[in-house]
Structure 1
Amino acid sequence: MNKLFLSLLTFLWMGTNAQSVGVTITNNSQLDYSDYVIEVPWKDIVAKWPSIDTADFKVIDSKTQQEITFQLEYAGNPTIQNLLLQVSIPANKTRSFKLVKGKHAFSPPKTFCRYVPERKDDFAWENDKIAFRMYGKALEGSNEDAYGLDVWVKSTDKLVVDDRYKKNDYHKDHGDGLDYYQVGYTLGAGNIAPYVNDSVYYSKNYHRFKVLDNGPLRSSFQLIYDEWNVDGKPVSVIKTISIDAGSQLNRVTAAYNHTSDAALPVATGLAKRKDPGVLFLNEQNGISAYWEPQHGNDGVTGVATIHLQPIRQMLVTKEQVLTITTTDAQKSITYFTGAVWNKANRITSAHQWFEYVQHFQQKLKQPLIITVQ
């Protein structure tokens, strides 16, 4: 054997017998990323460490040697899709991490979602910042029914959904927040619906669900809606929603099914209050944000939606703020929506909320650079 062939064999042997993998994350933006959840493609990790045991590895910060929390994301598939890491990287900095053999420490979950049959088919979800819910079939047609996305404000990083449903007294603040958000006959805090001939065509409530992942860093699920009439044509939709630890906003993908080949006009909406609030509308960057008026002792809720695709129009009606756009060629649309509470003492003014939303949009357009070594 010549030296070149021996070197090649050694390289191949070392590649297939790797005992660690390096991950480098570079922030080339002018923004600090704080407690930000990133996706590392699992196939890239397996390519470097084919024998990795998913039950026997941990992730170490290369600089501090501290173990960090991770999640294996399946996204509803039978196999792992991504390794999720929550990282903080200052502007124009790079951080390195290593996957090494060893049992990882238990990390309390920072996100959670579940079907709530004991409360008329609610589906509720949360992270360490905020909580939400959508309404199910059992509530449909009752005097409690609503059409939009509901917000449960929080002033704790603990998960509260189960405890609040158990107490069944969540319209009162017991020290960690409450549900005072009014949805009514609107899209609430950023739900989506077809918008045809200057009208919102609300679906009925979701009928079926599927949990895709459930923490600790990301919870995701699907809400499946029965067919309804949109300007004389049948339409149905599946909404895939995910929430990451540390974020005020959800990622929503609405995949529509309808008979037309044309793009479907759709609108996302933010419920508007009678008293004056503060609006921030930026059609060019797809941002619609609203800092609501003070709600007595309950405080102030801020809500927002972000679209990365071109916007047709933004409208302010008596009931809500609408962002109108269309689905793509696959009859689907992805956007971001969420909320914040001033009494959580993280974001306490309209200016801070609008700045947060603009920075969120900038990060979506200039993502972190991830390298697997």
Structure 2
Amino acid sequence: MRSSIFYVSALIGITFLSCGEQKKEHTIITIKNNLEIPRAFETVEVSKKEIVLGENQKFENIIVRDMATQERLITQFVDENSDGVADVVLFQPEVEPISEKKYEIVVLDSVAAQDVTAYCYSRFVPERTDDYAWENNKVAFRTYGPVAQKMVEDSVSGGTLSSGIDAWLKKVEYPIINKWYAKNDINPGEYHIDSGEGLDNFHVGSSRGVGGVAVKKDTTYYISKNFTEWETITTGPIRTSFVLNYADWDADGQKITEEKHISLDYGNNLSKFEIHTTGTTVLSVGLTLHKKEGVGTEKVDQGWVSYWEPHEGSELGTGIVAANGTMIASENYDTNMTDRSNLYAQLKVENGKVVYYSGFAWKESKQYPTKASWEAYLEEFALKINNPLEVSLK
């Protein structure tokens, strides 16, 4: 028995076409939900190593179908180690409260391409200095690279010196990153205007934005500069993931290393951050306080913190969630230094890494339009990551 890696995603059924199926015993996947709430939009990962393939059978020629309805599910193959060969297949089950459901993996001679949209998308953006941006059908984010940093250090206008995480406030399901950057190329600053899809009016500066990290020494928080290297792992209908590397940085005499593994799945308001770090046993993860007009909620015992604030004529909620035992404290850090006031969650570093989820909900998107609905989402998210779906293969 093993647990699925929790992540939110969408389930889209497509009728299975039997042509091409080989005559062999199928792999049966049983997924069990031990909670008294329905489970949907959580991604199950199946490794190539767990599938028994016959001679000349290809891992990329498998499909996943619901055993009860015979519907084919949307799948995404991921090459996790960038060697050109797929390592895992992703899909999203739906399971009722306190129940289990069976799916089967079927190997075909050939597989027709699924007609899907790559809602989960990310890329390096050299045309806008050197951002890295990512999105799904709910939210979008970006952060900043070395050229933007050097521009600031050389007093060249248009640069950004920040390892904070920017929020792009979209209110449509379809992808907007390329569209917004393209219109910004024609008319610089155009994506700061809402033309019906949303806009970028979230100020980051040197703040932590939505989930940037810091190291606290005494009463001071130390932060890294812009990322130095990037690698896109995957994009598709279910997940986008990538890696950002940072130059070593100093926290009052402590050398800190930082490598971010970030992923975002369909239907999820929170990105998953896996931070590989050395030089500290506690990593602080922050939510910017902006004008300090919002209300923070600190539920360390439940593994989440939230900040709900008025925002440019609307309202916005940000949040951080971590598994039980990871979040050990929180602090509403208020300072006169520009952009340095953040609501921090203090997370325990174990075996050189820390894992957390961070994201937002904008009232205009109508996803979680109130403080109560946003915090209910964070509370349920925490419940699910601490009680993952149980997945067994036979």
- Please indicate the TM-score interval, normalised by the length of the shorter structure: 0.7 to 0.9
Aligned 1:1-373 pairs, distance under 5 A: 18=24, 20-44=26-50, 46-47=51-52, 52-78=57-83, 79-100=85-106, 101=108, 102-104=110-112, 105-140=114-149, 141=152, 144-168=160-184, 169-258=190-279, 263-274=280-291, 276-296=293-313, 299-308=314-323, 309-318=325-334, 319-328=341-350, 330-373=351-394
The Cα offsets for residues 207-226 of structure 1, whole Å up to 9 and x where unpaired, read as 10111222221111110101
For 1:71, give the aligned amino acid: Q
Distance in 1 separating the partners of 2:41 and 2:254: 44
Judge which range, 313-322 or 72-81, deviates more: 72-81
Long gaps (5+) in structure 2: 1-21, 185-189, 335-340
Q: Alpha carbons of 1:312 and 1:34: their partners in 2 closer, same or farther (altered >3 Å)?
A: closer
In structure 2, what is the Cα distance between the partners aligned to 1:276 and 1:162? 33
Q: For residues 160 and 341 of structure 1, what CA distance do their matches in structure 2 show?
A: 16
Does structure 1 conserve the Cα–Cα contact (< 8 Å) formed by 2:317 and 2:371? yes
Task: State which structure, 1 or 2, has the greater radius of gyration over its C-alpha atoms.
Answer: 1
Taking structure 2 as the reference length, what is the TM-score of the superposition? 0.83
Q: CA deviation at 1:274?
A: 2.4
In structure 2, distance between residues paired with 1:236 and 1:85: 34
Unaligned runs of 5+ in 1: 1-15
1:222 and 1:238 in contact (8 A); partners too: yes
Measured against aligned partners, the alpha-carbon deviations of 1:331-373 in whole angstroms (never above 9, x if no partner) come to 2111111111121112111111101011111111111111222
In the superposition, relative to structure 1, how do residues 75 and 55 fare at CA in structure 2: closer, same or farther (>3 Å)? closer
Residues 136 and 265 of structure 2 are in contact (CA less than 8 Å); yes or no, is this contact kept in structure 1? yes
How much is the aligned-residue C-alpha RMSD, in angstroms? Answer: 2.1
309-318 or 224-233, which deviates more? 309-318
Aligned partner letter, 1:343:
E
Amino acid aligned to 2:46: V
Residue 192 of structure 1 deviates from its aligned partner by: 1.1
Number of matched pairs: 350
**How many angstroms does 1:293 deviate by?**
1.4
Counterpart of 2:362 in structure 1: which amino acid?
A: W
Question: CA 1:277–1:351 in structure 2 vs 1: closer, same or farther (change >3 Å)?
Answer: same
Residue 11 of structure 1 aligns with which residue?
A: none
* Runs of 4+ with deviation above 6 angstroms: none
Match for 1:152: what amino acid?
W
Q: Deviations over 1:57-115 (max 9, x none)?
A: 32222222222100122223534432210222222232222222252423211201100
Q: 2:10 corresponds to which residue?
A: none
1:138 corresponds to which letter in structure 2? V
SS at match of 2:97: coil
